[in-house]
Structure 1
Amino acid sequence: MVARTRLRVHDEPAFVLHQHDWSESSLVLEVFSRHHGRVVLIGKGVKRPTSQYRAVLLPMLPLRLDWSGEAEVRTLKAAQFAGGHVMPAGDALLAGYYLNELVLRLMTRDDPHPVLFDHYAAALAALAAGEDVAVTLRAFELLLLRTLGWLPDLAHEGLRLLPLAADQAYRLLPEAGLQPCGAEDSGALPGGHWAAVERALAAADPWAALRAQPALLATAALRVGLAALLHYHSGVRAFRTREWMRAVRRVGPLAAPSTNEPAP
């Protein structure tokens, strides 16, 4: 009988999305990796004061991880900081937690999307560098929805498949795509605006193309339209991190949310 080889992953680019206690000295880690997608790891002993990984396994830090195992929950073997940006601060920190919640809610485990991983890494770097939060979030939301197949063609009506009229207002509906509406409707944008977003998404480097046109993204109507799709496909009415961000705006700076709270 031939022994089964145990899967071992070495030097994998990854980010910690969320962590919670497993025992007094160990953690369960939800991780977004470049070549393996979302995976769950047990970090044995990483909470001990003497652990070399204690200060490394933090959300939003670029990491290189080793793990082993073929079960749903694998065992962390090594972790090191990959260099680059540090954790964002202030509103950008909460925006980073929002990106993590989107990945946790909308991506299934063990489903790799290397290009989306690169967009996620670029979004975190932009937040850490103090770039526009709203533009960064809209760009990632668009790319996440398009990668997962949930963003319809933004150059045509969803039901009749007619090209958009540049001056006609349209709103984005989860089950019908872009539909004509009044200019005063929530989420309404001119057809020319939607078509420009579609052209940016179709560019060779969609992240750069979207970021190069911040006026396309920094609109409340686009946020409303994308929020409808995100809520529909995630099955939740509100994202926890969105509520945190609203609370910060109402009462001023708050302490950063604990990474040991239950997963959203």
Structure 2
Amino acid sequence: MRTRPCRHGGTTPCAARDDRPGAGGAPQAGMIPLDRTAPRLAIQRQRPILSMPPHPARAAYFLDFDGCLVALARQPDAVVVPVGLVALLNRLHRRAGGALALVSGRAIADLVGMLPGLVVPMIGSHGAERLWRRGRVERLDIDRTVLDRAIERVTDVARTAPGFLVEVKPVAVGLHYRADPSLAEKAGHAMSGIAEDAPGFHLHPSKQLIELRPDGVGKGQAVAALLTEPPFRGRKPVVFGDDLTDEPAFALANRRGGVSVKVGSGRTAARHRLADPSRVRQVLSTWGRA
């Protein structure tokens, strides 16, 4: 078991069957109760990514980090940030008049440490943290006692198998099993029990990760909030992401006439798809020069 505390504080869409755990009735034994605000992953007629970029004065860019701008790694701190990524994001940020933000599940401190010199706004911990103007991190107030108790229990679970990894965030805790995907069912059972004793928090599954996070926190809410503030206000959202956690933001972009881009395989509400992070960087680089 390894525990990782927070160091700083064209593709054919799949059928529209809703086979999320617990959908259509009570959760099955061992299944994870999902956030009921998550959108259905409906059939979308996906199109090639736009050959012409959105107009920079009308677009608001919201970009995931892991699996979107950088390739996933077996452990969160093992990702490799490509040379030139910070310069690319800063250039597109300037071209968009400041209307570009990272929207990540990572803690803000992790993002800052991995992306020195990046000047764009950052949403961390799925919306529970925000690095905005003046360089100050705003953080959601939570019941610290509840979270600390949950962290202890998740750590105890992780000790039962070497393939588990605990990720402690400022306002959340996650149990990774990327090193041993066969632990998925065990992780689901354990985290479901922990969530039952964590009022004010809910579970959200991600890629080989189950996270306990505060109620009302999600990327969809985070993007919606940013769209009420300058320089994002009045613009069309352009959302890139690779994970279930990005689906509410995709749905929001679709409703508002924006652009939604799924990175990688899997069912999605997004209307465009790119194969991998290298292709994302290529597209963004083209848009930044257009």
TM-score range, shorter chain: under 0.3
Higher helix fraction: Structure 1 or Structure 2? 1
Highest relative contact order (Cα 8 Å, sep 6+), 1 or 2? 2
* Length-normalised TM-score, structure 1: 0.23
Q: Which has the larger Rg?
A: 1
TM-score by length of 2: 0.21
